[in-house]
Structure 1
Amino acid sequence: DTFTIRTDWMAEFAEEYPSRVGLPFFCNVRANLVTQELVEQLRHAGCVSVGMGIEAANDRIRNEVLHRNMSREQIVIACEMLRRAGIKVMSTNMVGLPTGGLEDDLETLRLNIECRPAFANAFIFQPYPRTQLGELARREGLVEGTLDDISVSAWDSSVLRFPPDEKRQIENLQKLFAVTVQWPWLLPLARQLIRLPRNRAFWLVHKLWKGYTIARRIHPVRLSAAEYLESIRHFMKLD
C-alpha cells in the first residue's frame, strides 16, 4: 500500500504523529508522488526509511507491461530528494519479467546504481494465477510447467521460457543484484559471475547482505546478543 497517496492527510499526519506517537517508522512511497514538500513532511514526522518500487528501468516494460506510469527521471529525482533528507530508500525491483530479458535486467541494475538506494531488493518474477501479469505470461505462452512449478519464494528461480543460459544468468543476477548496486565497481565482475552455474555461494551473499542492510539501515532496531543470533538463525533458514 502507498502510505503517501493522500497529500491532505499527510500534512495532518506530519503534525500529529510526532507528539502523539513519536516513534521512527517505515512506509511505502511512489516515485511519481514524491515532492520536496512530502519529503519534508516525512522527515518531520520521523520517517527513517521508505520502500519505493523501481521495478524495471526499461520504459516499455515499466509503463506498458507493469503499468507503473512514471518516468525514469521521476525515479531518480525521488531517490535523490529522499537521500538528501536522510531518509533511507529500499528499492524494489523485478528481474525475469515477461517480454523482457537479461539485458533489460542489467539496465534495471544500472538504474539502481544511479539512484543509490540504501538497499536494492530484487525479486524474480513469478506468474501467479489470476494476476494481470501472470495471465499475460500464460496467454503469450511464456510459462513453463504448471502452478506447482512456481517457486515458493520470489528469489529462487524463474518458470518463464527463457533460453537456459539466459535463465541461469537472470537467476544469478538476482542474488548479486544488491551487492553490485552497493559497490558499482563490481559490475564487470558480476557480469562474469552470473555466467557460472547456480550455486549456494551467491545465495549466501544475497542473504547476508540483505540481513545486514535490513537490520542496520532499513529497520534499525537494538537487539541483545541472543536476539541478534536468533534473528540470524531465523533469517538464514528462509529461502
Structure 2
Amino acid sequence: MRVVFYQHDPFVRLGVISLTNLLRRHGHASEVVVESAHREPLAVVAAAAPDCIAFSVTSAHAAWTANAARRLRKLVPGALQLAGGPHCTFSPDFLDQGGFDYLIRGEGEEALLELLDAHERGRTVEGLHNLVRRGPGGTILCEPLRPLLERAALDALPDGELHAYGRYPAILEYYRHMFPVAASRGCPMACSYCFNERYRELYRGKGRAVRWRSPERSVAELTALHRRYAVTHFVFEDDAFLLDPAWFRAFAPLYHREVGLPFTCQAIARSIDHERISLAARAGCRSMRIGLETGDEKRRTSLLGKIVSDNDLRRATTLIRAHGINLQTFNMVGLPEETPDQALCTYALNRELGTDFAWCSVLTPYPGTKIERTLGAGSASEPSAYFRPGEACATPEAVLNLQSLMTLGILLGLPTTVMRHVIRLPRSALHPLLFELAFAYAVKTLNQVPLLPFLRLSLLASHYLRERT
C-alpha cells in the first residue's frame, strides 16, 4: 500500500520515522507531506494517490488534524484514514471528531502493519490490538493494548532514516546538523502535566515503563546514519538519557569510539552524578536539557508532580557547567493563580543556575493528564480547546509577556530586577516576534547549525509559526 503521513509543520517526528521505515521494510511505500511547505498541500497529497492517509497527533495539533482529515476525505475519498499518537491514545472519541476510519493507541508499529495487511486482504480487524474502531450502531470500541516492545523488538526495528521526508531537501540538510534519535522509550517520572503517568496506567502489567535498545544496536544505527547523511550532531530525544547507569557505562565509551560526534541529550536532574556527566562529556555531549519547570519548589513537586528539588537542580547544573556542557532548561509559566512576581522566580532560578537557553511555555492542561483532571480544564469534545495558552488559568498579561521574553532575557543576561519592569510593559505583536527570534538564535548557536540550512527550514516553518503566535 502507499501511505502518506500528513503533518502541519516541517519538524521531523521520531514516531513517524519509526513507522515509515518499518512500512518500507515490509514492502509498503510511505512518505511525508508537510502542509507548510506547499501552496496547495492537499493537492500534493491527492497527486501521491495514497491508499492510506495517516496522522501522528499531539493534543496541540488535534484541531488542525481533525480539520485536515475532513478536507482530505472530500479530496481523496477512497483512501483509508488513520491517526495515532498521544492524543489518540487518551481521546478515543477523536475517531468521530476527524471522521477517521481507525485510531491506533499506544505503540503503533505492530498494529499499523497488521491493520494494513488486514485491509489489503479484506480481513476483519475485530480483535486487532491497539485499534480504536466503530462497533454496532457507531459506538466507539477500544481493543486491548498489546505488550510494550522490549529490547529485542526495539533492536529489531529499522534504522531511523529520513527517506519519508525525501521530497524536502531543506529538511534533510537542516536535520543532519541536529539529527533526532532515541535509544530508549518511556519515562519514569509522573509529572502532572505530561501523559506518562496515564500511559503507565494503560500499560500496567504489559511491560516495563522504560525500555532500552542495546548499546551495540544503538551505536550501530548511529554509525549507519552518520555515513548516510553526513551527520554533524545527534540529538537524543530520550526522556531520561542518563537514567540507567549500567547502560550508559556501556554506551558512552562505545559511542565515543565508534561515532565520536557531538550530541545533545535530555536528563532528569536527580540522575546526574559525577560519573555519568563525566562519561557524557568524554563521549561528546555539548548540550544537556533538564526540566526546571518553575522556580517555586513546592509547586514543582506538589502541583506539577516533578519530584526535583532546587538543590537537585543546583547540584546537577553545577556538574553540567563544570564539564563544559551547555545548559538548556524547560520552563513553564501560567500556573493556577500565579502572579508575575511568582513567575519571575522561575526566571531568577535560571539566572542563578547559569542557564544558556531557557525554553518557556505556558501551562496547557492536555486531555488525559493529571493536571487537566485537577483543573477541570479541556474537553475531548472540543479539540480547539487543547491549545489556548493562558486561558485555562486566566494568566495575567505580565506572565504571558515573561513567557515571550524569558529566552531573550537569559541570552542577554538581563537581571531579574530589569525583567520585572520589562514584562509589565503593554503586550504587543513585538512579544511573539522577540520569542521567535530569541529561540531561533539559541537553536542556531547552541547546535551550531549553518546559516543557510537554518534559514531554509525557517522559511518552510514560517507559515506554521505565524499561526501559532
Q: TM-score, normalised by structure 2?
A: 0.45
Q: Runs of 5+ in structure 1 lacking a partner?
A: none
SS at match of 1:174: helix
Q: For residue 187 of structure 1, what is the aligned residue in structure 2?
A: 416
SS at match of 2:331: strand
Q: For residue 198 of structure 1, what is the aligned residue in structure 2?
A: 427
Q: For residue 27 of structure 1, what is the aligned residue in structure 2?
A: 265
- Match 2:457 to one of 228, 231, 236: 231
How many angstroms apart in 2 are the aligned matches of 1:83 and 1:23?
Answer: 20
Equivalent runs, 1:1-239 vs 2, <5 Å: 1-98=239-336, 100-138=338-376, 143=377, 147-151=383-387, 157-162=389-394, 167-217=396-446, 219-223=447-451, 225=452, 227-237=453-463, 238=465, 239=468
How many angstroms apart in 2 are the aligned matches of 1:45 and 1:61?
Answer: 35
How many angstroms apart in 2 are the aligned matches of 1:167 and 1:215?
Answer: 31
How many angstroms apart in 2 are the aligned matches of 1:177 and 1:26?
Answer: 21
Q: Runs of 5+ in structure 2 lacking a partner?
A: 1-238
Residue 36 (structure 1) shift: 1.2
How many angstroms apart in 1 are the aligned matches of 2:300 and 2:337?
Answer: 11
Q: Is the 8 A contact 1:95 1:123 kept in 2?
A: yes
How many angstroms apart in 2 are the aligned matches of 1:91 and 1:43?
Answer: 18
How many angstroms apart in 2 are the aligned matches of 1:65 and 1:56?
Answer: 11
Q: Give the structure with the larger helix fraction.
A: 1
How many angstroms apart in 1 are the aligned matches of 2:342 and 2:461?
Answer: 30
SS at match of 1:57: coil
Residue 63 (structure 1) shift: 0.6
How many angstroms apart in 2 are the aligned matches of 1:189 and 1:212?
Answer: 22
CA deviations 1:39-77 (Å, max 9, x no partner) are 101011111111100001112111111121121011022
Output the amino acid matched with 1:17: Y
Q: Is the 8 A contact 2:336 2:393 kept in 1?
A: no
Q: Is the 8 A contact 1:53 1:93 kept in 2?
A: yes
Q: Is the 8 A contact 2:378 2:386 kept in 1?
A: no
Higher relative CO (CA 8 A, sep ≥ 6), structure 1 or 2?
A: 1
Output the amino acid matched with 1:71: S
Output the amino acid matched with 1:177: M
Aligned-residue identity in percent? 27
Output the amino acid matched with 1:206: F
Moved over 4 A (4+): 143-147
Q: TM-score, normalised by structure 1?
A: 0.86
RMSD: 2.1
Residue 236 (structure 1) shift: 4.2
Please say which structure displays the higher CA radius of gyration. Answer: 2
